[in-house]
Amino acid sequence: MDSTIRNKAIRVMKANDRGGFTVPTANLYPYQWNWDSAFAAFGFATFDRDRAWRELEVLFEGQWANGMLPSIIFRQNDPDYFPGPTVWQTGTEPPTTGHSQPPVAASVAWRLVETGGEADLARAQSLFSGLYAYHRWFHDVRDPDGTGLAAITHPWESGRDNCPDWDGGLNGVRVPDDLEPYERRDLTHVDSSQRPTKAQYDRYLSIVKFGRDCGWNHEVIYHDGPFLVGDPGVQFILIRASKDLRALANRLGRATEENALSAWIERAEDGSQYLWNESVGGFCARDLRTGHFSDAVTSASMLAFYADVGTSAQFDRLVANGKRILDRVEFGFPSWDPDHDRFEPQRYWRGPVWSVMNYMIAEGLAEQGETEMAARLRSDTQRLTDETGFFEYFNPLTGEGYGGGTFTWTAAIRLLLSTDVSTSRAA
């Protein structure tokens, strides 16, 4: 890795460091985000092992008593961001949102243990109970009927906020007459052509209002809430992270938790088949109220390789779709199929490339023996940052960068792709 690029990536991460936790980027996202922090820890591990663990430990300071790790921890009220803590009203300390995000933290912790020493194992042991409680919440609270499918109750919970995967579910969300007027802050930092629409935001906030009005009772939200969708992204990240947490449980001699994780994993692997859309040839989002499928292969569909979930025939279909999609773009992997009529190469999760998704997809492809496609994605990710900068997301056709221009997880992934985390192993 060119030392100039490495130094720029480290500077981005240090500039977004707020003393124990990292913001995704200044102004646009001024708080601590769940999966952003986990990927930040990965990046820190390439040059500061202690700071990597600290990022995870501080993240779990916001964990709820029921085990949920919220999507955002509001450590101060920053007017640059909406909706802030006064909108969510979760009653937690520190204030947080009322839902979660893709649970990558256990995978990061396990990788640090795999590549580390006794000091890393000790840090992981102190974090294990929180990680286990978080996974128990997903497998139990978001799958109370034991279907093997962990639902999301808000598009934001997927981490892929405005992906067309959610269009069907959002169309069924009624905007109440008493929805409070609001002023979006993201549009003061980023052009509206790159962001979710107002109609989508109205529905996002309507779902938040439902949660607030029921006192963030997750049983009520699951059974009666306005949005309940099976997401291949969360599903596959959860399965992979549960496998990694099971490996950590084994290393720590936690047999009871290891057995429970094995049962959860088996159930979730079986439940994932409900997301297989034969007409598309991929795992797709599915509305759990109506059974309606999304109709495109997305970057989340490709995470089946990362989770090692699917039959050989399904993997063959996914590989064929992946190659077709990559033939259509200059930079992979787009968040939405470029052959679909709802593809928008500049609008957030409706087409652009995201470094963190590329990292996980490439990991999975390489593990399944699809080394050529994995190498393409890693090379594309490096080219995007080296030629364009550490942007939040990128146009898959042109490479143009959008959103935040000094983005933590983009810098973290660039470091990770070129640095063995074991080189910064703790003594």
Asked whether residue 268 is assigned to any structural domain, the reply reads: yes
Indicate if the pLDDT at residue 141 is higher than 90. yes
User: What is the DSSP-derived secondary structure letter of residue 294?
Assistant: P
pLDDT at 299: 98
The Cα–Cα gap between 280 and 287 comes to: 16
Asked whether residue 208 is assigned to any structural domain, the reply reads: yes
Indicate if the pLDDT at residue 330 is higher than 50. yes
Q: What is the CATH number of the domain that holds 82?
A: 1.50.10.10
The Cα–Cα gap between 155 and 234 comes to: 11
Q: What's the pTM?
A: 0.96
Asked whether residue 427 is assigned to any structural domain, the reply reads: no
- What separation in angstroms does the CA of 324 have from each of 320, 347, 348, 385, 407? 6, 22, 22, 24, 29
Per DSSP, the three-state class of 286 is strand
pLDDT at 427: 31
pLDDT tens for each residue of 92-102: 999 999 999 99
Question: Among 11-20, 187-196, 305-314, 381-390, where is mean pLDDT lowest?
Answer: 187-196
- What separation in angstroms does the CA of 425 have from each of 8, 19, 120, 403? 22, 21, 8, 33
Question: Among 257-271, 282-296, 407-421, where is mean pLDDT lowest?
Answer: 407-421
The Cα–Cα gap between 123 and 386 comes to: 33
36 is a catalytic site residue: no
Contact 346, 193 (CB under 8 A): yes
Per DSSP, the three-state class of 145 is coil
Asked whether residue 424 is assigned to any structural domain, the reply reads: no
Contact 221, 214 (CB under 8 A): yes
pLDDT band of 333, cuts 50, 70, 90:
very high
Per DSSP, the three-state class of 285 is coil
Asked whether residue 161 is assigned to any structural domain, the reply reads: yes
pLDDT at 64: 98
The Cα–Cα gap between 68 and 100 comes to: 7
| Closest CA relative to residue 46, chosen from 5, 87, 84 | 5
Overall average pLDDT of the 32-54 stretch: 97
pLDDT tens for each residue of 232-259: 999 999 999 999 999 999 999 999 999 9
pLDDT band of 1, cuts 50, 70, 90:
low
341 is a catalytic site residue: no
pLDDT at 76: 83
Overall average pLDDT of the 32-61 stretch: 98
**Helix intervals (H) in 75-158:** 85-88, 105-114, 118-141
The Cα–Cα gap between 6 and 15 comes to: 14
Asked whether residue 425 is assigned to any structural domain, the reply reads: no
| Closest CA relative to residue 124, chosen from 33, 7, 251 | 251
Per DSSP, the three-state class of 126 is helix
pLDDT at 422: 55
Per annotation, catalytic residue among 161, 165, 186, 257 = 161
Asked whether residue 167 is assigned to any structural domain, the reply reads: yes
Contact 343, 352 (CB under 8 A): no
Indicate if the pLDDT at residue 144 is higher than 60. yes
pLDDT at 180: 87
User: What is the DSSP-derived secondary structure letter of residue 353?
Assistant: B
pLDDT band of 420, cuts 50, 70, 90:
low
| Closest CA relative to residue 61, chosen from 15, 106, 92 | 92
Indicate if the pLDDT at residue 382 is higher than 90. yes
The Cα–Cα gap between 21 and 33 comes to: 9
φ and ψ of 276, to 5 deg: -75, 120
Indicate if the pLDDT at residue 145 is higher than 70. yes
The Cα–Cα gap between 356 and 298 comes to: 14
Per the model's pLDDT, the better-predicted residue between 427 and 11 turns out to be 11
pLDDT band of 3, cuts 50, 70, 90:
confident
Cβ of 276: how many Cβ atoms within 10 Å? 21
pLDDT at 191: 87
The angle, 0 to 180 degrees and rounded to 10, between the axes of the packed helices 408-418 and 34-44 is: 40
pLDDT at 425: 43
Overall average pLDDT of the 203-221 stretch: 98
Give the number of domains in the chain: 1
pLDDT at 46: 96
pLDDT at 413: 98
Percent of the chain with pLDDT over 90: 90
Indicate if the pLDDT at residue 22 is higher than 80. yes
Indicate if the pLDDT at residue 37 is higher than 50. yes
Overall average pLDDT of the 103-113 stretch: 98
The length of the chain is 427
The Cα–Cα gap between 246 and 396 comes to: 36
Overall average pLDDT of the 120-139 stretch: 98
Asked whether residue 308 is assigned to any structural domain, the reply reads: yes
pLDDT tens for each residue of 348-357: 999 999 999 9
pLDDT band of 21, cuts 50, 70, 90:
very high
Residue 199 buriedness (CB in 10 A; 0-12 / 13-18 / 19+): exposed
pLDDT at 189: 85
pLDDT at 184: 79
Task: Return mean pLDDT, the chain.
Answer: 95
Per DSSP, the three-state class of 183 is coil
- Per the structure, the complete domain to which residue 314 belongs is given by 3-419
